[in-house]
Chains A and B, each alone.
Chain A
Amino acid sequence: MAEETTFQAWWEGVVEQLAASLENLPDYVGQHVLISALALGIGIAVSLPLAVLGARSKMLRWPTLTAASIIQTIPSMALLALFYPVLLGLKYVVEMALRAVGGGEAEAPFSALGFLPTVIALTLYSMLPILRNTVTAITGVDPAMTEAARGLGMRPRQVLLRVELPLALPVIIAGVRTATVWVVGIATLADPIGQECLGSYIFAGLHMENWISVLVGCVLAAALALALDQLIGLMQSAAETRNRRRLAVGVLGLAVLVGGGLALPAVPGRRLAALVRPARAEPGEAPVREPGRTYVVGSKTFPEQYILAHAVRNQLRSRGLKAITREGLGSAVIFRALAAGDIDCYVGYTGTIWVNYMKREAVADPQNVLAEMTWWLADTRGIRCLGPLGFENAYALAMKRRRAETLGAESVADLGPLAPDLRIGGSYEFFGRPEWANLRDAYGLEFADRRQFQATFMYKAVATGEVDVIAAFSSDGRIAAYDLVTLGDPKHVLPPYDAVLLVAPEAARDQAFVEALKPMVRAIDVETMRRANYQVMRDENTKTVDQAAAWLRRQIGLTEEQGEPKSP
């Protein structure tokens, strides 16, 4: 009986995860199709004329193909990320220019986050196969054909359009086909720069250990790529055999697939989710009072951030404001996105800003960090800190309790002499951050080995003894779950990492928005946050982010229904 109940609980969890995934399906598929189709469209429109010129002139061919090849060698993730700062710079320049011309405040008419950098990067990626195939195909046309065309009295343009391009068409389509599969695949990497896509399933799933979400993302992306590949393949063979009916089938199939994908966001995700999950009461939302503005709540890449972003979004909705989340943003991206107004708020941590942006090392007085940071943010970036949420999520070196006791390690200071025999594990981000360098130098830590993990595997690695020490997060539920101890920092090298609610310059002047957020200030203690975090990370009875966010809001007395604190 007991087993059956466990299975049932597990199955219900799976169904809920699947339902939660389906809720996002229309948006994710729609966005994925949109960015892929747009990038390919622009890619083809730019590459074809370039390739034609390249086929005509050797002087142009070499630099064009080389440039495209160089772009191809840049790791896709880096290329996508690279365009964010580039566009931010451009945006700044445009705004300065607008100000110089028009005077007063001016905002550049584009966002440097998400859509634009994604489409630019994907377009660049799509170009190489199209360029290369087109140049090869045109230069490979039998010279007897072009001479016949000229001999019959075709002008150069007519030779190109009526003879060379039609003869090159199958090979050109093959290039487009390759580009399509690449772009649809690489588009999944657009999630960390704030573009919704099928990769949002994959990244959120990886950060949250939600394998169903990862699977959904992979399956959908693969299915989309495969379907496009087959349809374009059909068009390619139609061009080879001059089969008009086959061509029509290919074009029609492509139109249905792309059109359907673009139209999909019109389908309410909840209705899709209702197909798999039993009926449940929908969380109430106050009627939208201000129809115009949609607020964007950002989140970084770990579970706590997802939960808090959902909780903040729900808080805004409960006050009748339109709000969406933009999840899984990298640490460097999210702060700039806030300063630029691409997102309206997110939950930051004092220490991160202290070390990474204020470039401070020594912590003279932990009490003053918050006040000093608040002043610095307002003064230099116009960002408003609404106040602490009430808990801290610090970097802390942690070890298995028994291992620490055996070695007699109580603080980081004790690790100094032990380090050469120990291995340390950290997140991808940690070893690149100044905190690590400060810690290492202050305590003379020379570990035998240093390994990088995704957070999930980092905790498992210390639990199984694969590494001895990890750079843990103090609000992580897994510290208790794996029976780890955190080591003290007697020299106060690490600053405090209080969670703080940060608001973008423009949104800070929006009274309704600020007022809606205020009930969350000083409302969450560390134990509550740990439990919420653990709900989504534990292996059994795993909750979705939405469920954990709802639980969190109930715990702090903000019901989904009203948004006003319950009377005690």
Chain B
Amino acid sequence: MIRLDQVSKSYDGGRTWAVRGLDLHVAEGEVMVLLGESGCGKTSTLKMINRLIEATRGRIEVAGEDVRDLDPVLLRRRVGYVFQRIGLFPHLTVGENVAVVPKLLGWEKPTIARRVDELLEMVALDPDAFRDRMPRNLSGGQQQRVGVARALAARSRLMLMDEPFGALDPLTRASLQDEYRRIHRRLGLTSLMVTHDMTEALLMADRIACMRGGEIVQVGSPHALMTRPADDFVRRLMETPKEQADRLEHIVQSDDGEATG
């Protein structure tokens, strides 16, 4: 579905490289997670796919077509995009936010209205209660549900997600992660998601691409990355959830002693 071939990006005319010689293939129907610390080039990679920024070198294919041959605007309408800071338009209602892309595509009004309700239901928001509300009256979790609905609105088969659940509290994040997996499977989507959260990556990904310094270090299933890390960096990365669990365990036990003592 997406194929990156020796893709590089430099913001300063070639002196430093944000992304360097990247090869990546996202197969149809999978959730691929780009994992790495901030500044490793994962968001730049995502934005090059729908040409929000242009690749300096290399070739990017979406559904078999070189993105450089496509009108970037039409390309973006075809590809769903969920933004890191949610990015709902504050001057539009929930319904109008969801309807942005169908409207751009010139759908009929009744078709758009039906689609909006369908999508709100899909992301577990009651259409009658939420359709006409303004985004500022919604909780963070509700806002990102709308964000996901908006990205899906034009029946995109391909979703690009830039740390979509990063700004949410842990409980909301967990339920949205589950729901997204469900939606992904039901609609047969192909998703490329960027995150720096190891746990999120392990829970959501079919495959993970680990990035460091603008390059991919290893691509593989969560299981493969945990059992056969390519280097120390990947191993340390994969061990973080387990380390955290150990530390939590430690705290729980010492606390237990205090409480009984």
Contact = CB atoms under 8 A, between A and B. Distances in A.
A and B co-occur in one complex: yes
Interface of A: 144-145, 147-155, 158, 162-163, 166-167, 242
21 contacts: A144-B87, A145-B87, A147-B52, A147-B83, A148-B83, A148-B87, A148-B88, A149-B89, A151-B52, A151-B76, A151-B87, A152-B76, A152-B150, A153-B76, A153-B101, A154-B73, A154-B100, A154-B104, A155-B73, A158-B104, A242-B91
B74 interface: yes
A167 B50 CA distance: 25
Given A152-B76, A162-B100, A242-B91, 14 more contacts: A144-B83, A147-B52, A147-B87, A148-B83, A148-B88, A150-B52, A151-B50, A152-B81, A152-B101, A153-B76, A153-B101, A153-B104, A154-B100, A163-B89
Contacts of A155: 73
B67 interface: no
Interface residues of B, number: 21
Contacts of B204: none
A389 to B, nearest CB: 68
Contacts of B134: 242
A166 B90 CA distance: 10
* Consensus secondary structure, chain A interface: helix
Contacts of A163: 89
Interface centre among A149, A152, A154 (most CB of B within 10 A): A152
A152 B52 contact: no
Contacts of B150: 152
A150 B78 CA distance: 13
A145 B104 contact: no
B85 interface: yes
Given A147-B83, A158-B104, A153 B89 contact: no
Contacts of B101: 152-153
Contacts of A144: 83, 85, 87
A151 B89 CA distance: 13
B90 A167 contact: yes
Contacts of A145: 87, 89
Contact of B81 (A151, A162, A166): A151
Given A147-B87, A148-B83, A167-B90, A153 B77 contact: yes
Interface of B: 50, 52, 73-78, 81, 83, 85, 87-91, 100-101, 104, 134, 150
Nearest to B134: A242
Nearest to A156: B73
A166 B88 CA distance: 14
Given A151-B76, A152-B104, A166 B91 contact: yes
A163 B50 CA distance: 20
A153 B71 CA distance: 10
Contact of A152 (B85, B91, B100): B100
B54 to A, nearest CB: 13
A139 B77 CA distance: 25
Contacts of B52: 147, 150-151
A242 B135 CA distance: 12
Nearest to B153: A152
A394 B134 CA distance: 74
B93 to A, nearest CB: 9
A167 B77 CA distance: 22
A163 to B, nearest CB: 6
A131 to B, nearest CB: 22
Contacts of B104: 152-154, 158
Contacts of B75: 153
Contacts of B91: 166-167, 242
B159 to A, nearest CB: 12
Contacts of A149: 89
Contacts of A152: 76-77, 81, 100-101, 104, 150
- 8 nearest A-B residue pairs (beta carbon): A148-B87, A153-B77, A153-B76, A151-B81, A166-B91, A144-B85, A153-B73, A144-B87
Given A163-B89, A167-B90, A150 B83 contact: no
B231 to A, nearest CB: 34
A153 B74 contact: yes
Contacts of B76: 150-153
A181 B85 CA distance: 40
Contacts of B73: 153-155
Interface centre among A150, A151, A154 (most CB of B within 10 A): A151
A147 to B, nearest CB: 7
A155 B77 CA distance: 11
Contacts of B83: 144, 147-148, 151
A237 to B, nearest CB: 14
Interface centre among A148, A153, A166 (most CB of B within 10 A): A153
A556 B254 CA distance: 117
Nearest to A150: B52
Nearest to B52: A151
A167 B74 CA distance: 24
A147 B50 CA distance: 12
A208 B189 CA distance: 84
A165 to B, nearest CB: 10
Contacts of B85: 144
Nearest to A239: B91
B50 to A, nearest CB: 7
Contacts of B87: 144-145, 147-148, 151
A315 to B, nearest CB: 63
A148 B77 contact: no
Contacts of B100: 152, 154, 162
B81 to A, nearest CB: 4
Given A153-B101, A154-B104, A148 B89 contact: yes
Contacts of A162: 100
A152 B104 CA distance: 9
A155 to B, nearest CB: 5
Contacts of A151: 50, 52, 76, 81, 83, 87
Contacts of A153: 73-78, 101, 104
A158 B50 CA distance: 18
B164 to A, nearest CB: 13
Contacts of A148: 83, 87-89
Contacts of A147: 52, 83, 87
A159 to B, nearest CB: 10
Contacts of A150: 52, 76
Nearest to B90: A167
A158 to B, nearest CB: 7
Nearest to A148: B87
A162 B97 CA distance: 11
Nearest to A166: B91
A45 to B, nearest CB: 23
Interface centre among A145, A148, A163, A167 (most CB of B within 10 A): A148
